[in-house]
Chain A
Amino acid sequence: MFVARSIAADHKDLIHDVSYDFHGRRMATCSSDQSVKVWDKSENGEWHCTASWKTHSGSVWRVTWAHPEFGQVLASCSFDRTAAVWEEIVGESNDKQRGLSHWIKRTTLVDSRTSVTDVKFAPKHMGLMLTTCSADGVVRIYEAPDVMNLSQWSLQHEISCKLSCSCISWNPSSSRAHPPMFAVGSDDSNVTYGGKVQIYEYNENTRKYGKAETLMTVTDAVHDIAFAPNLGRSFHVLAIATKDVRIFKLVPMRKESTSTGPTKFEVQIVAQFDNHNSQVWRVSWNITSTLLASSGDDGCVRLWKANYMDNWKCTGILKGDGSPLTGSSGQPSAMSTVLGSSVQSSQNALNGMSQKGQLE
């Protein structure tokens, strides 16, 4: 079922974030060693580091790619209270031969007074927009009006969320029925009050983002948050990484024609999994929103899938080194003893119980 490969990352300290580019052929990693590395995947599937450079004067928390329509652009955010935008420039021919590329800083966003905890690009249909959130609870939305000039960014919105923010996620839906929307998660550890996830929506009339919903049932610190790809549905699906994995469904309620405020939502909890039995740090959806992956302090990555009756179950568990966890629920049973004879298999392809790990 899985084949694992190890890549020696060569960062001198903890890695905090790994991000794929849109096509999955490039990868960026960032670390407490204050640097960002960019990796390219070659024809034979091997990853080569093509750039490595110091980006900040503090730990780099997150790194993210812009949509390739804007070129090869990265954004990073750091403990040093700044976020930066980087662009790859086509290098000299001998550099190319050696497989190296150069990234230059286009801008530094210095508006935050505290550590910037997340940086994300907005969906491409909104233009080239970058969002940051900080430990002091401020979310900032910047826009580059001229996509060919990445050194000019203007601060379009500054939203105070009152709670220390740890993560943001934009709703990827480009449907005209859905105004731009993002969710912010807070890692504030005081569990006496809820509302650690807030949803903000753009209001055409006020031309500002207003709070549309607060998920009061989320009382523990939120580490990651992710909207699922929309697929033309009328409702939204949001996954949250907190002390467990939670999936929420947000159903927009019909607006009266005279209403000028944000959309009202009916919030339903679709699933809640505490299998990690520890803090869950990341959640991420696959492209078609059919699979959710989560990782936690138990050192495992779990995969969650809904069957055709829309019941969510765990379909796979991976340990820290990429090997599957055997004897776990939700792992497909082998058809290997089908003819009543014992089967020697070193590669049970269709069933994939075994895995081969290759060290690079």
Chain B
Amino acid sequence: MGFAWGPGDILVYETLYKASGASGSGCSFIHEIRKDEDIYSPILRKLFNESHHIFVGLQTIREELPSKSKKPQFVSISKNYRSVIRACMEELHFGSFFKFLFYSLVSILLAIELIWNLCEVLFIDAAPAGSLLLHLLDWVRLHKADVDERAREVLQSESPAEHHDYWDVPGGTQTLTEFDVKWRHWHEEVDRCMQDNSFASNRHLEVICKILLGDEDTLLDHKELLGTWYHFLVTRLLFCHPTVKPTELHYYAQSCMTMFLDSRSVSEPLDNILLAAFEFDIHQVIKECSIALNNWWFVAHLTDLLDHCKLLQSHNLHFGSNLREFLLLEYASGLFTHHSLWQLAVDYFDHCPEFGRVYLELQIERVPLETERKALKVLRICEQRQMSEQVRSICKIMAMRALRNNRLGSALSWSIRAKDAAFATLISERFLQDYCAKGTFSDLDLIDNLGPAMLLSDRLTFLGKYREFHKLYGEKRFREAAKLLLSLMTAKIAPQSFWMTLLTDALPLLEQKEVIFTADQTYELMFCLEELTSSLNITASSTDRPMQEEDVEVTKVELLRLALARNLAQAIVKEGTVET
């Protein structure tokens, strides 16, 4: 079985290859496999576009600001990313007609947002003890959208009085210790109430009281209301250890997870990721996410943000690159396979200092150049980054394509852009051959407006100047035309093979009533003619050209000699005459 690896992650392979010597099958199959189907989903495309915008903004945050003042910026960027995820979820959930199909995608986005939010709380915002719990509460609340609202109310609204005091938490007016003292006092109060059976009459109230005390068993009884172990964790922290410190989190996380999941033996990937987060093991979080998710979007953007917060110690790869760059390169390379998203990828490569450039060089030259417009777009990107080899290559490809389709003007302009002198010469030759054959030029606009590009190749210069000659002639500026024509030969701009044509072009000028060529110029023309005929004679003797062709040539030369002689005579007379 064999295969071919195409650019853009497309893999094609043939079946019924050598080995088994398949029974002469008449019709073998080729299978085309494409990876990363997800980037074709229009909703995800929006995610990629908007996150690209945030990413670029993040890269341009000035380095010299102290980390302290940058923290709120980073938190805000993190929130931006999350709102983009939420927006996608909303659209998928409510907007999409086929939301059933996208259900799994929604659940994955939910998981991503959940993890990101937790990372924001723990790593980026780095909430200290006290406000940590508040943030965690917000976090859990935000992600319990699918929990029965009523159940939540029951759980939390029955004892407004007790709660009222509770929410007056470390904010401005009290320190953590003050709060802690107050809280313990309250806790003891509730406990005393429990002990002396104040609520014995009301079973319901008793349960609530137990919950307020953080009684594990009671909480676990209401497992289905909590839904997840991390909700259990936060609830338990709320009622037992509201002043929990970040460093203590992992103890509670581990034990809560064990208690909650005792019926299930295996933990889900998501659980492991969250646990790693509670343990503040950023690398583990990233590693687990990379394994669990196929698309690199999440890990690439999150790692990039964490790197900007200076939270990642860089491991040195054998290329000398680091984790952030590795993930961004993976993500961006994946984008490159898409017919329009590849343009987003360019910015990501730009911000990968080690390998971004070479990755971009390799991938951008593979972008199919279906239209001139697309080719120009690709070129602009390459030119902005001084990728001269890629520029040259793309222009050459376009020039070649134009030449094959006989679009000489297009081929010429591409080869000028490629600064490809050899090719420009070749195309100029073609133009000239065309002129000799048809008597007219194609693509006049292009040739007329060559400007300094004319100097790219001698032949091209000649083409431009020759066209100029025709223009002058057309505008009846005969003297200037004549001068130009002569200079083309004397300055050796014109290839000798073309001299005959030029001299023939001179004939009408020689035949004019008015004398155009001066005597000196006429002498020079004669000289050119002699030079041409003598060299032709040398070659003519060695090649056998058909008699007819020779005759024509001889006649031409005779005509020219006559015209030149007549012109010379008239010129001498004219120049010798004194105007009275």
A interface residue numbers (CB < 8 A to B): 1-20, 22-25, 27, 29, 31, 47, 68-72, 88-90, 124, 148, 229, 231-233, 278-279, 281-282, 284-288, 290, 293, 295-297, 299-301, 308-310, 318, 320-322, 332-333, 335-341, 343-352
Contacts and interface: CB of A to CB of B under 8 A. Distances in A.
A230 B108 CA distance: 37
Interface in B93-142: 100-105, 107-111
B7 A71 contact: no
Contacts of B19: 278-279, 281, 297
A348 B106 CA distance: 10
A231 B292 contact: no
Contact of A20 (B6, B20, B293, B370): B6
Contacts of A295: 1-3, 13, 17
Per CB-CB distance, the 6 closest pairs between chain A and chain B, nearest first, are A345-B104, A284-B5, A20-B6, A308-B326, A23-B368, A322-B31
Given A4-B33, A338-B270, A22 B366 contact: yes
B16 A14 contact: yes
B7 A9 contact: no
Contacts of B292: 332-333, 335
B291 A9 contact: no
B12 A287 contact: no
A255 B227 CA distance: 67
A340 B22 CA distance: 48
Interface in B23-45: 24-38, 41, 44
12 contacts: A5-B33, A14-B16, A14-B25, A17-B14, A18-B13, A24-B366, A90-B404, A286-B5, A301-B3, A335-B107, A339-B228, A351-B293
Name the residue in A16, A47, A69, A296 with the highest tally of chain B Cβ atoms < 10 Å from its Cβ: A69
A231 B4 CA distance: 21
A289 to B, nearest CB: 9
B366 A287 contact: yes
Contacts of A279: 19
Contacts of B33: 2-5, 318, 322
B359 A288 contact: yes
Contacts of A282: 2-3
B291 A333 contact: yes
A66 B295 CA distance: 34
> How extensive is the interface on chain B, given as a class?
35 or more
Contacts of A27: 4, 6, 12
Contact of B104 (A7, A333, A343): A343
B30 A290 contact: no
Given A20-B12, A338-B110, A340-B227, A5 B31 contact: yes
B269 interface: yes
B146 interface: yes
B38 A296 contact: no
Contacts of B404: 71-72, 88-90
A333 B267 CA distance: 13
A68 B370 CA distance: 13
A343 B319 CA distance: 41
Contacts of B6: 20, 24, 27
A308 B323 contact: yes
Interface in B259-308: 268-270, 291-295
A122 B269 CA distance: 47
A156 B278 CA distance: 66
A333 B269 contact: yes
B367 interface: yes
B318 A15 contact: no
B533 interface: no
Contacts of B29: 6-9
Name the residue in B14, B38, B393 with the highest tally of chain A Cβ atoms < 10 Å from its Cβ: B14
Interface of B: 1-20, 22, 24-38, 41, 44, 100-105, 107-111, 146, 227-228, 268-270, 291-295, 315, 317-319, 321, 323, 326-327, 329-330, 333, 355, 358-359, 362-363, 366-370, 393, 396-397, 400-401, 404-406, 426
B34 A336 contact: no
A279 B20 CA distance: 12
Contacts of B38: 349-350, 352
Given A8-B27, A9-B27, A344-B100, A301 B13 contact: yes
Given A18-B2, A295-B1, A310 B270 contact: no
Contact of A301 (B11, B24, B37, B362): B11
Given A1-B36, A350-B105, A352-B37, 19 more contacts: A6-B30, A8-B27, A9-B14, A14-B22, A20-B6, A24-B8, A24-B10, A29-B14, A69-B397, A69-B400, A89-B404, A231-B362, A279-B19, A308-B317, A335-B270, A336-B104, A339-B111, A340-B228, A348-B104
A326 B414 CA distance: 50
B32 A281 contact: no
Contact of B35 (A2, A10, A23): A2
Contact of A23 (B14, B104, B367): B367
A69 B7 CA distance: 17
Contacts of A286: 5, 9
Contacts of A10: 27
A70 B399 CA distance: 10
Contacts of A351: 104, 108, 293-294
A88 to B, nearest CB: 8
Contacts of B9: 286
Nearest to A15: B14
A349 B397 CA distance: 36
A338 B268 contact: yes
Contacts of B367: 23
B31 A2 contact: no
Given A232-B358, A308-B317, A339 B146 contact: yes
Given A14-B18, A69-B393, A349-B37, A287 B363 contact: yes
Contacts of B36: 1, 352
Contact of A344 (B20, B103, B315): B103
B358 A1 contact: no
B11 A293 contact: yes
Given A71-B400, A231-B355, A332-B293, A18 B4 contact: yes
Contacts of A352: 36-38, 294
B333 A288 contact: yes
A351 to B, nearest CB: 6
A343 B400 contact: no
B397 A68 contact: yes
Name the residue in B12, B35, B227, B292 with the highest tally of chain A Cβ atoms < 10 Å from its Cβ: B12
